[in-house]
A and B are shown apart, each in its own frame.
Chain A
Amino acid sequence: MDALLLSFRLAACVSAILLLIGLPLAYWLAYWNWRGKFLLEAIVAMPLVLPPTVLGFYVLVALGPHGPIGKITEALFHRGWAFTFTGLVFASVLYSFPFTVQPLIASFEGIDRRLLDASAVLGAGHFRTFANVILPLSVPGIVTAVVLSFAHTLGEFGVVLMVGGNLPGITRTVSIDIYDHVQSMEYAAANRMALLLLLVSFTVLSLVYGVNRKFGRRMWASWATR
């Protein structure tokens, strides 16, 4: 049960941080064009193709005392981030990055350009257009981005295994807990935990998609009748 709660806490932190980073980045990627943009797009999509072990290995080395991040954390806090909850959040933010940014980009790009032009003609600046036109029209996309990154972090295994150190209550997430049970041949306990995760995940996902569908439609309807 501890492990499940820990996973939820991790997923909540990660999707909140990713939303904060993802919104401006996706806005930039969706509406600005410049020569090297394809490179940044490739970097954003990287965690989709990289095996979690590769990402986990790099993160572990980076967090170590000789790594770039390890040097910073040692200087600031006199400790490394490996085997800590903060370290897991950091690794998971990298790992779930495309799951937030890509739905946001798709959603921003789907907005009718004429609305943005109209907003500009009426004297709204970039920020006002973003807050009053783009964000409200992107609610379904934002919900999708948050849910996907949340769900992806909840099911994360390889990266946590690589940098977590399996500490109960700190880095032993539900996927690691299930793996441990299987390793110890406690199949019944593994099954209980896995089934619980399955049910919880399904419930959360279907709730959010259900609400999103209704909410999304209402958004469009209210805009059309305005």
Chain B
Amino acid sequence: MNLALRCVAALLALFVSLPSAAAQDVKIAAAADLKFAMDDLVAQFEKQSETKLDVSYGSSGNFLTQIQNGAPFDIFFSADSNYPKKLEAAGLTEPGTLYEYAIGRIVIWTPPGSGLDPAAAGWKTLLDERVKKIAIANPDHAPYGRAAVAALKNARIYAQIKSKLVYGENISQAAQFVQSGNAQAGIIALSLALSPAMKNGNLWQIPQSAYPPLLQAAVLLKSSKNKDAARKFLDFVKSPAGQETLERYGFTHPIQASDVLSVPGNSAALHR
């Protein structure tokens, strides 16, 4: 009995002590499209630093709601720069830390062996009769979905293919729909099209001029208990090594407000 009690006490102590050991880690909430780039960035950073990073991937909108309700993240990497701006307006962020780290790109992607070649056919891929379903992210709340719809309207084929569209909850799910072959084509993030599971498919980069730029931003949260380490990671992302990594995974480097004197409402600088 005594021994059993002691075992239980030891187990309890173990469980109680586990979270406190992880309390020093920097907790990052990252948009789903960042998965592969962020894994790489984290691995590079942890090699040169004592700090451990815990990354949660998910939909930016979900993270926004969670952070507004006190989720214990240190840094928020959003797929839509409006979400960190909302947090900033609500006074939930460290002043001056909002950083536009990348511009996301969208592509038309088809699975290998489908006989469809978007690189040659461009928009016509989606009009092909073999394409019965086209996967995009939900345009009601996913930034990549909004960009896809804007691009389809820009190409004047939205009305024609609207009935073929199926909606993923986020861009990863849209990619999963087409990668599993249930949809025959998809409009997905370039960063996902370059990922190990999808890089053997066929892709065509939709011209940047066809849709508003997918400006992505990160911000340090006011509630962070580990601000110094979190700042160091943000600095690493801004560094040439960090930016080079992001570009390798299909993100374009935006011109920062600190790089040029940007005029509010003038997005021309972003259309490089």
B266 to chain A, nearest CB (A): 27
A183 near B141 with CB under 8 A, answer yes
The answer to whether A210 has its CB under 8 Å from any CB of chain B is no
Name the contact of A180 in the complex, choosing from B62, B135, B140, B166 (C-beta under 8 A).
B140
Name the contact of B169 in the complex, choosing from A61, A83, A161, A167 (C-beta under 8 A).
A161
B177 near A82 with CB under 8 A, answer yes
Binds B, one of A62-70, A114-122, A142-150, A192-200: A62-70
The answer to whether B252 has its CB under 8 Å from any CB of chain A is no
CB contacts (< 8 Å) of A79 on chain B: these are 132
A64 near B62 with CB under 8 A, answer no
Name the contact of B141 in the complex, choosing from A70, A82, A163, A180 (C-beta under 8 A).
A180
Question: How many of chain B's residues have a CB under 8 angstroms from any CB in A?
Answer: 23
Question: How many of chain A's residues have a CB under 8 angstroms from any CB in B?
Answer: 23
* A165 to B141 Cα, complex, angstroms: 14
Closest residue on chain B to residue A183 by CB atoms: B141
The answer to whether B24 has its CB under 8 Å from any CB of chain A is no
CB proximity to A under 8 Å, residues B173-222: 173, 176-177, 180-183
Closest residue on chain A to residue B167 by CB atoms: A166
CB proximity to B under 8 Å, residues A54-107: 60-61, 63-66, 70, 79-80, 82-83
CB contacts (< 8 Å) of B81 on chain A: these are none
Q: Given contacts A183-B61, A183-B141, A184-B140, are A166 and B180 in contact (CB under 8 A)?
A: no
A60 near B61 with CB under 8 A, answer no
Residues of B bordering A, CB below 8 Å? 59, 61-62, 64-65, 132-133, 135, 138, 140-142, 166-169, 173, 176-177, 180-183
3 nearest A-B residue pairs (beta carbon): A165-B166, A82-B182, A166-B167
